[in-house]
């Protein structure tokens, strides 16, 4: 492989046009001059003095071939390498026949075109276990040939003791004698000495090839004339085949054992076949295990689905899942039985359940992702049955929402709830009969007293004034108590209609304007314009009336009384809030404000807020209370919103 690489370089150089400074001489122009060249006397097989004192080697034959082609005399002088460098530097010789090129050397020398490449290697003893590459030479004893290019390679590597020797044979002997740990030198020269001396069992090379550089003729910087001669000669011996003959003489040819190659190929194929078999076995086994796991998981999923289906079918509600277009995707058995799944249908509106649910509610869920909870509706089918439904958004794909629908028939439940409520009221009335009798008896006693005194004191002006003031008041008190009692115990079925909240609030405030002005109360109203709800007008007015009267009673003793009625929209709901700056309610009392017959007023019977709560619930709403002592009280009514608009502020 190395030979092919070298031949490639040399063929490339042959194709390069001659340098304009090159001295090209044909046979008629040959000039016989003498060039003095030095070479290493101990660098086989490149150049060395043999046992008979003959200077020979690859470089010697190359120089002689150039001498013949160029028609010049070349005097080749063998000497130790370091002396050859000194001789060139001092001008005692014209050139060195073989020197590795480097950028550092290029500063002081000029180089011919390369005629071979040579690598350096690290040589160690066979028992070495710790030196494997150049970085392992740190803190070791390392030998190099004097002025060899390896000196630049080992600079700044913290070598413990860098020993310079005259030639590689000397370094090899020192290595075997354990005077050094390694030496760095020309790979081919080292191999030559090891083979010649029979040191194969003592020495080896480690690591990668180092300093694989071009091998050239070197002269002092600026001596272009001699470089031109050698460049021309190198090209000629390459083109006429002389170079190839010299190379084969000293380095031979690479012969390949076809049987060994075939053996290596068969081994490689065997290994590859074995790997394929192992991979196939592993893949089959893995696929079998994967298949078993898939089957196990499939069974688990099937069991889970069966369980989920059983749970879904065991629910008492009608369960359906629809997409954005109200297409039915899933339903439980209860819903199927109601719909009669033998009929051909695709969309919710084609079923009886579609007549129960408001389309606007489904659109809110599927288009805006809003959840609707516990909405009660009376069926449009028979106007008797009452249903309660919940709608929850479900993501089908990306931003496409469907709806999970849960519908429950609460007709019987509602009737039972109302019966229980009525029964509970009667029981409460029975337990508090004494209180009722007392409340009725007090005004009757006062009226009776005035009637009995009339024959005697009818002529008294003061008596008549007291009579005209006290009797009507006691009658009003009795009338109010009886009305409250009837309202609480009676089952009212107020007709619901679409109302604008602000109109009802205005009417109520107008009715109470006399009481508000009488106590100099600051009244603030901040209600959403066009906030419409579906409620009973009379019941909503009654609710507001009770809350505002309670607020007036709470603030009328304040130096700066203030009541605020305002609204807040929360999604599909509107909150109607009545807030006062009265003395507030303590935590213990706050828990009982909606209990029937619980009151803190001297003249009250505790039915007002109980009736208010009942009316709010009848209108599918909720009422809650917040209060802090010394700050005030806030009643919050939450109703379903049909339409929301901008805020309109009214001050009374």
pLDDT in tens, 35-50: 999 999 988 899 999 8
Does the pLDDT value for residue 429 go beyond 50?
A: yes
| pTM given for the model | 0.36
Provide the pLDDT for residue 617.
87
Per CATH, 118-213 and 315-409 having the same topology is answered no
Provide the pLDDT for residue 230.
94
Does the pLDDT value for residue 188 go beyond 50?
A: yes
Provide the pLDDT for residue 421.
60
Rounded to 5°, angle at Cα 98 from 164 and 90? 70
3-class secondary structure, 229: helix
User: Which tokens go with 112?
Assistant: 């011919």
Residue predicted with more confidence, 7 or 24: 7
Rounded to the nearest 10°, the torsion over CA 547, 552, 554, 555 is: 140
118-213 CATH fold: D-Maltodextrin-Binding Protein; domain 2 (3.40.190)
Report whether CATH 1.10.287 matches the domain 414-489: yes
CB 133 within 8 A of CB 228: no
In the chain, % of residues over pLDDT 70: 81
Provide the pLDDT for residue 32.
42
Place 343 in a pLDDT band, splitting at 50, 70 and 90. low
Residue predicted with more confidence, 7 or 337: 337
CA distances from 54 to 39, 76, 242 (A): 13, 12, 22
Does the pLDDT value for residue 511 go beyond 80?
A: no
- The Cβ of residue 310 has, within 10 Å, a number of other Cβ atoms equal to 10
Question: Distance between CA atoms of 484 and 498, rounded to whole angstroms?
Answer: 27
Does the pLDDT value for residue 282 go beyond 80?
A: yes
Does the pLDDT value for residue 651 go beyond 50?
A: no
**Sequence-ordered list of residues with C-beta below 8 angstroms from that of 233, at least 6 positions apart, any chain:** 65, 66, 67, 69, 70
Provide the pLDDT for residue 21.
36
Provide the pLDDT for residue 26.
45
User: In CATH, what class is 496-651?
Assistant: alpha beta
Phi and psi torsions of 395, nearest 5°: -80, 125
Does the pLDDT value for residue 424 go beyond 50?
A: yes
2-115+214-251 CATH fold: D-Maltodextrin-Binding Protein; domain 2 (3.40.190)
- What rounded mean pLDDT belongs to the chain? 80
Place 485 in a pLDDT band, splitting at 50, 70 and 90. low
Provide the pLDDT for residue 257.
46
Does the pLDDT value for residue 578 go beyond 90?
A: yes
Provide the pLDDT for residue 199.
87
Task: List the CATH code of the domain at 315-409.
Answer: 3.30.450.20
Residue predicted with more confidence, 8 or 208: 208
Place 22 in a pLDDT band, splitting at 50, 70 and 90. very low
Please state whether beta strands 182-186 and 141-145 pair in parallel, antiparallel, or not at all (unpaired): parallel
Provide the pLDDT for residue 451.
82
Does the pLDDT value for residue 1 go beyond 70?
A: no
**Sequence-ordered list of residues with C-beta below 8 angstroms from that of 499, at least 6 positions apart, any chain:** 532, 533, 534, 535, 537, 540
Place 55 in a pLDDT band, splitting at 50, 70 and 90. very high
Does the pLDDT value for residue 283 go beyond 60?
A: yes
Instruction: Report, as an integer, the average pLDDT of 389-407.
Output: 79
In the chain, % of residues over pLDDT 90: 23
Provide the pLDDT for residue 226.
92
Per-residue DSSP letters for 377-421? EE-TTTS--EEEEEEEEEEEETTEEEEEEEEEE-HHHHHHHHHHH
Residue predicted with more confidence, 419 or 644: 419
Provide the pLDDT for residue 425.
55
- The Cβ of residue 596 has, within 10 Å, a number of other Cβ atoms equal to 20
Provide the pLDDT for residue 491.
47
Residue burial 498-516, b: 16+ Cβ < 10 Å; e: rest: ebbbbebbeebbeebeeeb
Provide the pLDDT for residue 2.
47
* Strand residue runs (E) in 57-197: 73-79, 95-100, 109-111, 116-125, 141-145, 161-165, 182-186
Instruction: Indicate the range of 195-209, 220-234, 295-309 predicted with least confidence.
Output: 295-309
Provide the pLDDT for residue 76.
93
CB 509 within 8 A of CB 475: no
User: Which tokens go with 584?
Assistant: 């507030």
Residue predicted with more confidence, 230 or 345: 230
Rounded to 5°, angle at Cα 434 from 431 and 436? 95
Q: In terms of C-beta density within 10 A (0-12 exposed, 13-18 middle, 19 or more buried), how is residue 97 classed?
A: buried
3-class secondary structure, 294: helix
Per-residue DSSP letters for 441-486? HHHHHHHHHHHHHHHHHTT-HHHHHHHHHHHHHHHHHHHHHHHHHH
pLDDT in tens, 61-97: 999 999 999 999 999 999 999 899 999 999 999 999 9
- The Cβ of residue 160 has, within 10 Å, a number of other Cβ atoms equal to 11
Going from N- to C-terminal start, the domains of the chain cover 2-115+214-251, 118-213, 257-298, 315-409, 414-489, 496-651
């Amino acid at each position: 492989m190395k030979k092919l690489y070298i031949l490639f370089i040399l063929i490339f150089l042959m194709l390069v046009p001659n340098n304009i400074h090159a001295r090209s001489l044909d046979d008629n122009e040959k000039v016989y001059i003498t060039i003095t060249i030095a070479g290493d006397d101990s660098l086989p097989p490149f150049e060395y003095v043999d046992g008979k004192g003959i200077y020979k080697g690859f470089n010697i034959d190359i120089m002689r071939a150039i001498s013949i082609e160029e028609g010049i005399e070349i005097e080749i002088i063998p000497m130790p390498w370091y002396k050859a460098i000194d001789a060139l530097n001092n001008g005692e010789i014209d050139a060195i026949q073989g020197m590795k090129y480097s950028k550092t050397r290029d500063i002081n020398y000029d180089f011919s075109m390369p005629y071979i490449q040579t690598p350096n290697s690290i040589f160690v003893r066979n028992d070495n276990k710790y030196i494997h590459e150049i970085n392992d030479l740190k803190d070791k004893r390392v030998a190099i040939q004097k002025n060899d290019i390896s000196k630049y390679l080992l600079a700044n590597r913290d070598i413990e003791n860098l020993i310079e020797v005259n030639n590689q044979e000397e370094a090899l002997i020192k290595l075997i004698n354990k005077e050094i740990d390694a030496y760095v030198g020309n790979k081919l020269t080292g191999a030559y000495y090891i083979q010649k001396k029979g040191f194969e069992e003592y020495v080896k090379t480690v690591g990668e090839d180092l300093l694989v550089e071009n091998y050239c003729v070197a002269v002092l910087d600026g001596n272009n004339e001699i470089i031109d001669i050698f460049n021309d000669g190198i090209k000629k011996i390459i083109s006429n085949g002389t170079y190839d003959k010299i190379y084969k003489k000293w380095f031979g040819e690479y012969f390949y054992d076809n049987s060994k190659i075939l053996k290596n190929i068969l081994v490689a194929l065997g290994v590859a076949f074995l790997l394929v078999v192992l991979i196939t076995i592993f893949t089959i086994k893995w696929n079998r295990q994967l298949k078993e796991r898939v089957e196990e998981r499939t069974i688990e999923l099937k069991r889970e689905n069966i369980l989920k289906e059983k749970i879904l079918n065991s629910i008492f509600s009608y369960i359906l899942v629809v997409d954005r277009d109200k297409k039915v995707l899933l339903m439980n058995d209860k819903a199927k039985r109601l719909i009669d799944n033998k009929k051909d249908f695709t969309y919710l509106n084609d079923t009886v359940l579609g007549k129960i649910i408001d389309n606007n509610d489904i659109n809110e869920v599927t288009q805006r992702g809003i959840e609707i909870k516990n909405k009660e509706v009376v069926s449009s089918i028979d106007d008797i049955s009452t249903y309660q439904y919940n709608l929850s958004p479900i993501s089908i794909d990306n931003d496409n929402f469907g709806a999970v629908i849960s519908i429950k028939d609460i007709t019987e439940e509602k009737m039972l709830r109302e019966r229980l409520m009525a029964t509970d009221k009667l029981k409460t009335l029975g337990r508090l009969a004494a209180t009722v009798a007392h409340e009725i008896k007090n005004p009757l006693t006062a009226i009776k007293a005035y009637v009995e005194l009339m024959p005697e004191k009818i002529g008294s002006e003061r008596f008549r004034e007291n009579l005209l003031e006290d009797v009507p008041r006691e009658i009003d008190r009795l009338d109010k108590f009886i009305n409250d009692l009837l309202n609480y115990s009676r089952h009212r079925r107020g007709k619901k209609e679409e109302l604008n909240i602000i109109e009802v609030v205005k009417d109520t405030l107008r009715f109470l304007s006399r009481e508000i002005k009488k106590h100099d109360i600051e009244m603030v109203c901040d209600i959403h314009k066009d906030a419409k709800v579906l409620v009973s007008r009379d019941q909503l007015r009654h609710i507001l009336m009770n809350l505002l009267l309670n607020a007036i009673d709470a603030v009328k003793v304040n130096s700066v009384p203030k009541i605020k009625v305002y609204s807040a929209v929360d999604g599909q709901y509107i909150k109607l809030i009545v807030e006062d700056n009265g003395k507030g309610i303590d935590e213990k009392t706050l828990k009982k404000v909606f209990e029937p017959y619980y009151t803190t007023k001297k003249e009250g019977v505790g039915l007002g807020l109980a009736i208010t709560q009942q009316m709010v619930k009848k209108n599918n709403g909720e009422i809650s209370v917040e209060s802090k002592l010394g700050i005030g009280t806030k009643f919050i009514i939450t109703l379903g919103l049909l339409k929301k608009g901008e805020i309109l502020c009214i001050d009374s």
